[in-house]
Structure 1
Amino acid sequence: MPAWLRLVSAPQDKASGKLWDGALEAQHAFGDLDGQRPAFLAVHDAVDDGIAYRAELSVCVDASVLSDDPILRHEAQLPDSWWNDLAGKLEKASAVDTGRVAVRQRYMGWAIPEFVGIPAPAVSCWNTAHADVHWANLTQPLRLLDWEGWGQAPEGFDAATLYAYSLLQPDTAARVRIAFPVLGSPAGLAAEATVCAQLLQTVGRGDNLVLEDRLRDWSEELSRRRP
């Protein structure tokens, strides 16, 4: 049976924590998410000369990702059933109980004023997020890839992330808002402001520059929505 082998390594004293254990913990928490998350087949750990190694064998995904880049460079032509599946699977994942943290309140309290220019909005609900939902982690038929960073985040965080990476394609960005009505709502403001701040921070480092103008526009919209 075709399978995907992922190999990671780190100094033995650093081979732990959210990203190191994320994929394995995702398997325990979500399983294959009704066939739309590549399930693990085996995991093997080894240590040699102070270096820890982990080999993760998972089901091979035969569908291509929707983009080679997290940023969508062309309008996504996807059926309503795909959008419904995505929303349903993220909602199911959001109900999983976990102590893992994807977004920290302390970060929000610093980054949102710094990059969006508003006080960090109150979070009305924290739930479990994939925390890296962009176009290079999605396929058609739907599979959700790369679960290393999952954990608790403000409600709507995954939707806001996908929206941010869709900003160059207005029709797709509008479709994201339809699929995830939390966007644009008071409940979604904290997540949207967090994602906007995160990406504007990357712009300041010289990354995602193509999104800068759209992110500035989004930031202004969020400022207008501030209570």
Structure 2
Amino acid sequence: MFSAPDDPGTAARMRAAHAAACDALGVLPASPTCSGVVREAWGWRGRTLGGPVTGTHGPAWLRVAHSTVDKVGGRLWTGPEDAERLVPDSVPRPRLRRVRQWSERDDVYKAELYDRVMGVTPSPGPMLTCAPSLPTAWWSGLREALDLLSVVRTERTAVRQAYLDRAMPKYLGFLVGDPVCTTPPAWSTAHGDLHWANLVGPDIGILDWEGWGAAPAGYDAALLHAYSLAVPETARRVREELAPELDCDAGRFAELVVVTELLQSAERGDNTVLVPALKQRATEVWRAITGA
């Protein structure tokens, strides 16, 4: 999750859209916490807004996504509905129950009503800042979920080859040696945004399926590991628990892909504190690849 957008107009518009979605779907926002705080789950730069609601069928979660008319559609717009159709029920996630889409002049909104997950996320944001206490069954559940997802057949794409060809040489230029290969050893289906704010425990659950699709094999494990680097003990745990995905040629390549993406996002001001650790990890992976 992210913080509310800096632009008050965007925040007000999304809150109004969320209220309109509640009316349209016949649900009510959940009561504020005991401290009077209304729980809001914001997406990147206010593109989405979610929150707990209640209705005739019990507790639920309502998420509203926004797009302009000229950009509506694409993989992010259809991801949750595609996941509901194509991803096996055995992959633990909140089920999508109802969808409602509407337009207001140049703005398009989509409301998605989910079963509410009763677990908690290990972190309020993608990057981990303290070690989570997660049972052994959580880790085995995560491995099983990623295995099941990896073989799902889909035409969706989470990471594009054209992006790798363009971005990897640019953002991995600090590595010394032969030019970085940009062709993955293998592809598989990935969640595409597997960070700590998109996971729940103590029972494993995976949230936010808008960006799933084909990616370099090992991508999800590599992304979770990268977002753990600020907490070395958890980063080690991720490497141990997800070793089959990471400790291989495909996994090492996936780590370089993730470093590329996060170094690029750091240029926009996202997770800049991770930059030194990302470069150090890329250097370690590169040495393992090249034998240097």
TM-score range, shorter chain: over 0.9
SS of 1:45's equivalent in the other structure is strand
Q: What do residues 141-165 of structure 1 show as CA deviations (whole Å, max 9, x unaligned)?
A: 2110011000100000000000000
Superposed CA RMSD: 1.6
Contact 1:109–1:119 (Cα < 8 Å) also in 2: no
Aligned mates of 2:138, 2:197 — CA distance in 1: 16
Q: What amino acid maps onto 1:220 in structure 2?
A: T
Give the AA of the match of 1:52. Answer: V
In the alignment, which residue of structure 2 is the partner of 1:20? Answer: 77
Query: How big is each residue's C-alpha offset from its partner over 1:192-222, in whole Å with a ceiling of 9 and x where there is no partner?
Result: 1100111111223332111111111012112
Q: How many residues align?
A: 226
- Corresponding position: 1:163 with 2:264: no
SS at match of 1:122: coil
Of residues 148, 162, 171 in structure 1, which corresponds to 2:210? 148
Correspondences of 1:68-217 after superposition (within 5 Å):
68-117=124-173, 118-140=179-201, 141-181=203-243, 182-217=245-280
Query: Is the Cα–Cα contact under 8 Å of residues 108 and 120 in structure 1 kept in the other structure?
Result: no
Larger Rg: 2
Once the two structures are TM-superposed, the CA of residue 46 in structure 1 deviates from its matched residue by 2.7
Partner of 2:52: none
Shift of 1:7: 1.6
20-29 or 46-55, which deviates more = 46-55
Distance in 2, Cα, partners of 1:205 & 1:56: 29
What displacement does 1:127 show?
Answer: 0.8
Partner Cα distance (1:50, 1:69) in 2: 30
> Which residue of structure 1 aligns with residue 60 of structure 2?
3
For the 8 Å contact 1:130–1:150, the answer to whether it is kept is yes
Q: Which amino acid aligns with 1:215?
A: L
Alpha-carbon deviation of 1:8?
A: 2.2
Within 2, Cα distance between the matches of 1:9 and 1:216?
34
Deviations 1:52-83 (Å, cap 9, x if unpaired)? 33221110112111100211111122122111
Describe the shift of the 1:158–1:51 C-alpha distance in structure 2 as closer, same or farther (beyond 3 A).
Answer: same
Asked whether the equivalents of residues 135 and 162 of structure 1 are also in contact (C-alpha less than 8 Å), the reply is yes
Moved more, 66-75 or 203-212: 203-212
Percent of matched pairs sharing the same residue: 42
Aligned to 1:41: 97
Compute the TM-score of the two structures, normalised by the length of structure 2. Answer: 0.73
Gaps of 5+ in 1: none
Partner of 1:2, secondary structure, is strand
| Runs of 4+, deviation exceeding 4 Å | none
The one-letter amino acid of 2:148's match is K
Asked whether the equivalents of residues 70 and 165 of structure 1 are also in contact (C-alpha less than 8 Å), the reply is yes
Question: Relative CO higher for 1 or 2, CA cutoff 8 Å, sep ≥ 6?
Answer: 1
3-state DSSP class of the match of 1:226?
A: helix
Tell me the amino acid that sits aligned with residue 162 of structure 2: R
